Structure formats: structure tokens, C-alpha cells
Structure 1
Amino acid sequence: MEVNDELVDKIAALAKLEFKGEEKEAIKGDMQRILNFIDKLGEVDTEGVEPLVYMTDETLKLRADEVDQEISQDEALRNAPDKDSDYFKVPKVLKK
């Protein structure tokens, strides 16, 4: 597969990136090397190799999901920079 300016522009638009001049040439080279490496992997003999489903044979050790009040509401609000009786007050994030 040939990496050209059109392909770089399309991928850059999808990733919301912008490449100009030397950056565009550098990314084209990097992408071409990646594709060449992937083609090289296709040459590896995988006859008789089982597909890898998991990276490890270990299983997760799960703990019981128990409700436990570690801190009281008063303790949680004690060091709050801004609070309103029972709640944390935070600055407005969205403008109408």
C-alpha cells in the first residue's frame, strides 16, 4: 500500500490532526515503515500456532463487593474549599 498525501490528509482529518510541510513528509515516512513492518509480519510462518486469546493464563482474584462507610459526610466536607450544607460546591463548567 502506498502512503500518499491524500491518505495522510484523510487519516489526519479523522484524528483531528494537521500536518504541514516537513511534518507531513515525516508522518508519511513513519506510516510507510509501519505498513512495511506489517507486511513483514505476514511472511512469518504461523502454521500450527494456536490463536492467542488471552495474554496470560492467570485469572483475576475478585473480592466480595461489600458496602462499607469509610468516611462520614461531615469528614468528607471538612476540608472542602467550598460547600453548601451537605454538598460540595464546584465552579460552573457549562455556559448556557
Structure 2
Amino acid sequence: MQIDRHLILRLENLARLQLSEEERDLMLHDLNEILEMVEKLNELDTENVEPLIYLSNQSQQLRSDEVKGQVTTEEALKNAP
């Protein structure tokens, strides 16, 4: 897939951006480079590779949900303008 000037103009309109010609050229170049890198990843043989769901097998340690150090309404309102 190749990104062309028409797509850049469409993206600019959808994102409500106003790019200069120089910025459009740079965006066109950068996005095409990114797509080339992604296409290289598609060339890799991943048939026998197990999908990575989590980076670690350790379970996440969560703290207990306890109320600590409450601020009264009066104390909170002292900080208001």
C-alpha cells in the first residue's frame, strides 16, 4: 500500500488540520516510511510463534481498596478560589 497526496489531503480534512505544502510532503514521506517498516514485519514467518498476550507470567499485585486520609468538605473548599 502506498499513501498518496489525495489521502494526505483527506486525512488533513478529517483531522481538521491546516498543513503547509512542506508539511504535507513531510507527512507523505514519513507515513510511507512507516508503512514500509510494517510491510517488512509482514514478511516474517510467525506460523509457529505463540501469540504474546502478557509480557510477564506474574500476576498483578493490587492493593486493597481502603479509604485513607479523607478530606472534609470544609477543608476542600478552603482551596477553592
CA displacement at 1:65 relative to structure 2: 2.4
Larger Rg: 1
Query: In the alignment, what sits opposite 1:42?
Result: 42
Structure 2 CA distance, aligned partners of 1:50 and 1:20?
45
- Higher relative contact order at CA 8 Å, sep ≥6: structure 1 or structure 2? 2
Structure 2 residue 51 is matched with structure 1 residue 51: yes
Larger helix share, 1 or 2: 2
What's the counterpart of residue 14 of structure 2? Answer: 14
Supply the distance in 2 between the matched residues of 1:2 and 1:43 (Cα, whole angstroms).
17
Following superposition of structure 1 onto structure 2, how do residues 1-96 of structure 1 map, counting pairs within 5 Å? 1-68=1-68, 70-81=70-81
How far did 1:52 drift? 1.2
CA RMSD of aligned residues (A): 1.8
Distance in structure 2 (CA, Å) of the matches to 1:51 and 1:14: 34
Shift of 1:68: 4.5
TM-score, normalised to structure 1, is: 0.69
What count of residue pairs does the alignment treat as equivalent?
81
Following TM superposition, where does structure 1 have runs of at least 4 consecutive aligned residues deviating by more than 6 angstroms? Answer: none
More strand by share: 1
